[in-house]
């Protein structure tokens, strides 16, 4: 006998007089109060083996909330060993807290009795009946609707008041502790009733009322922020969690975050393409009227078990598309403008960290590479914690115009200089469409992700280059833990690189050798507080000057050597020598 037969036989055994009608079992409800004047309702059991709610029972007149076989067994006093799929030895979910002796149960009952006809009509327009309102113990105090938040022990210690027609006008009443997010689950008692079955989770009490009217079990949170405090272990003995939030991007992100915590048992219901953005179940109920049941049923049927992995078909398509985009390219990465550097590294890809002693020209080197990339139409975000935005623009204009900063300030420039400046300004104007300089020291990984999304959207490009000047000046939560902060930032850069097709150019400081000098063989150990650089960097470079930084005027030509000290795909070694093109703030590859 398979599990399907066991559930059917279980209900047939403990529901005398039950009759099978298609995929449902009907019987006189054993939980309804019996009297000569009041007939009991009909207990309806879903026996559709293809349904997530297979084995779910409910009373037609809602004498009490429904549930699955384990809950039925508890109500009937049946030995748990005789309930299909029930493990009598498995531990129940218990909160480690002491409930107060004072409850709001009587107050909730009083508000239930004072519901007005006007409010009942509003709910009727959503298809919600008085029976459902009574089952969920919804009330009205004359000004506000009352939504009681009962806890697992069956008592209410706090309820939420919402002004009819204005959901923003809401507040809590009751024990302060039970107004905290971890207790803000409306109809939490359904969690136990749905053991070995399925349950809905939605946002907003009214949305849950609509689902309950349709005959589904469920819980609701007053806002999406409450999901952060919802413990995943609370769903341990529930087989399927159907997530149905309002139709918005914010709700989609929240649904995916919750589904990631719950695992494969989570199923996110997708809204039909014809539903307006921002809509929820109550708005759909007003529009669909009698068609709402069929719409929700289709959403359930087309839902898929959540997976954090992309589908094999999608992966295959994306791989072939990327392969086609690379066809015919001379470089896999972004061109640097330096022939030998491009040949050694096959362009800029992944996370590239360059170290160098102070005043060695690291900022100038990356400034030149990034502005050249922007001139070619690559979106670039330059996070600068060393120089000002004005200084970056000024030095870029000097390099493009071949004019020194002093020449730019000259009151009477020669005609040749005027023309070069005009052309450089035009080039720079075009370049700035793809080049953004950020100097905000309140930067965080989340802000960085959003800014990358913005520039990719504005430029309609899928890839992006990010420059960080420098790694050791990035904001950290605690300055005394800079080493830990650097490693954390590197982890985020790896995630951003993979998720958003970003190439990083990151400047790092070098540690001093013996007697405080920087003269040493370039290697990974040269990086200051290197932390995870050796594991994170796709390419680790060192720019080593061969001239006296303390007395630059005594050196006729300032030449620096660029070393590739470690790489995932390329051979380490010397890349090339570079001469500082002073006073035009650039480098020439020798």
pLDDT, tens digit, for every residue of 4-52? 589 999 999 999 899 998 899 999 999 998 777 778 999 999 999 999 9
Q: Is residue 266 a contact partner of residue 259, using CB atoms and an 8 Å limit?
A: yes
Please state the length of the chain. Answer: 590
Cα angle value 550/553/557 (rounded, 5°): 105
What is the rounded distance in angstroms from the CA atom of residue 427 to the CA atom of residue 424?
5
- Two structure tokens written together for 521: 């063989």
What is the rounded distance in angstroms from the CA atom of residue 136 to the CA atom of residue 128?
11
Q: What's the CATH code, domain 3-82?
A: 3.90.580.10
Other Cβ atoms within 10 Å of 325 Cβ, number: 10
What is the rounded distance in angstroms from the CA atom of residue 73 to the CA atom of residue 426?
79
Cis peptide before 274 (omega within 30 of 0): no
Candidates 390, 391, 393; CA nearest to 432 is 393
Q: Is residue 385 a contact partner of residue 469, using CB atoms and an 8 Å limit?
A: yes
Query: Residue holding tokens 């039950």?
Result: 18
Q: Is residue 114 a contact partner of residue 142, using CB atoms and an 8 Å limit?
A: yes
pTM over 0.75: no
Low-confidence stretches of the chain (pLDDT beneath 70): 1-4, 113-115, 325, 328-330, 477-482, 513-521, 528-531, 549-556
Candidates 255, 254, 262; CA nearest to 232 is 262
CATH number 3.40.50.300 is the correct assignment for the domain at 105-302 = no
Q: Helix, strand, coil shares of the chain as percentages rounded to 5?
A: 40, 20, 40
Which residues lie below 8 Å from residue 521, measured CB to CB, with a gap of 6+?
Answer: none
Domain map (residue ranges) of the chain: 3-82, 105-302, 339-511+518-589
- Two structure tokens written together for 177: 């502790």
392-423: burial string, b at 16+ Cβ within 10 Å, e else: beebbbbbbbebeeebeeeeeeeeebeebbee
What is the rounded distance in angstroms from the CA atom of residue 348 to the CA atom of residue 5?
62
Q: Is 146 helix (H, G, I), strand (E, B) or coil?
A: strand
Strand pairing partners for 540? 353, 566
Q: Is residue 563 a contact partner of residue 544, using CB atoms and an 8 Å limit?
A: yes
Candidates 74, 65, 82; CA nearest to 29 is 65
Count CA atoms within 13 Å of residue 540 on its CB side: 20
pLDDT of residue 437: 93
What is the rounded distance in angstroms from the CA atom of residue 84 to the CA atom of residue 232?
24
Q: Is 515 left (phi over 0), alpha (psi -120 to 50) or beta?
A: left
pLDDT of residue 287: 86
pLDDT of residue 135: 94
pLDDT of residue 2: 47
CA dist 381 → 150, 226, 389, 455 (Å): 51, 34, 12, 8
Q: Is residue 23 a contact partner of residue 47, using CB atoms and an 8 Å limit?
A: yes
Q: Is residue 60 a contact partner of residue 41, using CB atoms and an 8 Å limit?
A: yes
What is the rounded distance in angstroms from the CA atom of residue 239 to the CA atom of residue 241?
7
Pick the CATH number of 339-511+518-589 from 3.90.1010.10, 3.20.20.80, 1.10.10.60, 3.40.50.300: 3.40.50.300
Q: Is residue 108 a contact partner of residue 159, using CB atoms and an 8 Å limit?
A: yes
Other Cβ atoms within 10 Å of 435 Cβ, number: 24
* Sign of the CA dihedral with 242 first, then 220, 136, and 298 last: negative
H or E element at residue 588: strand 587-589
pLDDT of residue 329: 67
């Amino acid at each position: 006998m398979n599990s399907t037969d066991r559930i059917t036989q279980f209900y047939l055994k403990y529901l005398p007089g039950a009759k099978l009608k298609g995929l449902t079992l009907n019987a006189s409800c054993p939980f309804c109060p019996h009297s000569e004047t009041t007939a009991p309702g009909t207990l309806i059991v879903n026996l559709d083996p293809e349904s997530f709610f297979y084995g779910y029972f409910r009373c037609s007149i809602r004498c009490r909330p429904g549930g699955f076989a384990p809950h039925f067994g508890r109500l009937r006093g049946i030995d748990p060993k005789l309930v299909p799929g029930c493990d009598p030895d498995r531990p129940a979910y218990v909160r480690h807290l002491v409930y107060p002796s004072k409850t709001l149960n009587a107050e909730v009952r009083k508000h239930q009795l004072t519901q007005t006809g006007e409010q009942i009509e509003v709910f009727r327009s959503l298809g919600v009946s008085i029976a459902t309102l009574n089952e969920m113990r919804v009330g009205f105090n004359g000004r506000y609707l009352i939504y009681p938040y009962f806890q697992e022990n069956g008592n209410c210690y706090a309820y939420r008041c919402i002004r009819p027609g204005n959901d923003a006008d809401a507040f809590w009443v009751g024990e302060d502790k039970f107004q905290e997010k971890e207790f803000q689950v409306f109809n939490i008692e359904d969690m136990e009733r749905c053991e070995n079955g399925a349950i809905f989770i939605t946002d907003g009490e009214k949305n849950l009322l609509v689902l309950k009217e349709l005959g589904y079990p469920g819980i609701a949170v007053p806002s999406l922020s409450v999901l952060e405090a919802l413990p995943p272990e609370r769903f341990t003995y529930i087989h399927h969690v159907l997530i149905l939030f309002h139709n918005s991007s914010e709700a989609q992100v929240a649904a995916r975050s919750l589904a990631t915590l719950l695992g494969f048992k989570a199923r996110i219901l997708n809204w039909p393409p014809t539903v307006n953005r921002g809509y929820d179940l109550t708005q759909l109920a007003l529009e669909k009227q009698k068609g709402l049941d069929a719409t929700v049923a289709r959403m359930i049927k087309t839902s898929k078990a959540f997976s954090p992995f992309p589908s094999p078909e999608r992966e295959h398509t994306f791989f072939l598309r990327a392969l086609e985009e690379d066809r015919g390219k001379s470089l896999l990465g972004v061109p640097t403008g330096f022939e030998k550097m491009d040949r050694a590294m096959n362009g800029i890809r992944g996370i590239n960290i360059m170290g160098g002693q102070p005043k060695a020209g690291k900022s100038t080197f990356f400034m030149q590479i990034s502005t050249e990339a922007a001139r070619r139409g690559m979106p670039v975000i330059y996070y600068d914690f060393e120089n000002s935005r004005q200084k970056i623009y000024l030095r870029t204009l000097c390099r493009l115009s071949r004019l020194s900063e002093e020449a730019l300030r000259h009151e009477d420039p020669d005609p040749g200089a005027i023309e070069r400046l005009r052309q450089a300004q035009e080039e720079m104007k075009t370049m700035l469409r793809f080049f953004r300089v950020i100097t905000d020291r309140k930067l965080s990984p989340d802000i960085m992700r959003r800014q990358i999304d913005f520039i990719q959207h504005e430029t309609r490009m899928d890839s992006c280059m990010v420059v960080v000047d420098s790694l050791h000046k990035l904001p950290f939560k605690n300055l005394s833990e800079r080493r830990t902060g650097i490693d954390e930032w590197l982890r985020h850069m790896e995630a951003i690189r993979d998720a958003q097709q970003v190439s990083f150019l990151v400047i790092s400081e070098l540690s001093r050798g013996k007697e405080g000098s920087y003269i040493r063989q370039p290697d990974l150990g040269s990086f200051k507080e290197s932390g995870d650089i050796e594991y994170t960097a796709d390419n680790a470079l060192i720019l080593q000057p061969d001239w006296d930084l303390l007395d630059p005027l005594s050196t006729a030509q300032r030449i620096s050597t660029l070393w590739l000290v470690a790489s995932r795909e390329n051979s380490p070694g010397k890349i090339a020598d570079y001469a500082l093109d002073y006073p035009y703030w650039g480098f020439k590859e020798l």
